[in-house]
Amino acid sequence: MSTSFAKDIAPLFTDRDVHCMGGAGVHLREYDYMANPEGDAVFPDYANAHHVLARLKGTETPRMPPSGAPWNGDQIALFESWMSAWLP
Ligand code: HEM
């Protein structure tokens, strides 16, 4: 079964996550933002999703969310499986 952004991924983000990051232009529950194919200086494509994943895993710091529990392995694996479904 494929992973749905609206059903499986968007609800992983709390209202606080969405509020904090929306102010910084990171729209965690918006498909068009998260699946944007544009790259940047760090990732050649799909930079928005790659940066979100890197912050969730702590490979880019500070790890997100900055307070409270980090995502568990199952949540991160679900996010990665959603990404791998459409990543080139
Ligand atoms: C799962 C939840 C979250 C994710 C995936 C996330 C994702 C990100 C990403 C991708 C960036 C880098 C933005 C950029 O470089 O332009 C970032 C930075 C930041 N986020 Fe979050 N965020 C989350 C939750 C939060 C919350 C709840 C807060 C507020 C309490 C917050 C505050 C910040 C701040 C202050 C920065 C700038 C930190 C820095 O790089 O110096 N984030 N976040």
Name the domain count of the chain. Answer: 1
User: What's the CA-to-centroid distance between 22 and ligand 1, angstroms?
Assistant: 9
26 lines ligand 1 (CB under 6 A): yes
How close is the Cα of 67 to the center of ligand 1, in Å? 10
Tell me how far the alpha carbon of residue 88 lies from the centroid of ligand 1, in angstroms: 25
**How many CA atoms does the CB half-sphere of 56 hold within 13 Å?**
21
- Does pLDDT of 85 surpass 70? yes
Domain with 74, as residue range(s), is: 5-84
Of the pLDDT bands very low, low, confident and very high (cuts 50, 70, 90), residue 17 is very high
With bands split at pLDDT 50, 70 and 90, how would you rate the model's confidence at 51?
very high
Mean pLDDT computed over 2-12: 94
Q: Quick check: CB of 64 below 6 Å from ligand 1?
A: yes
Instruction: State the CB neighbour count (10 A cutoff) for residue 34.
Output: 21
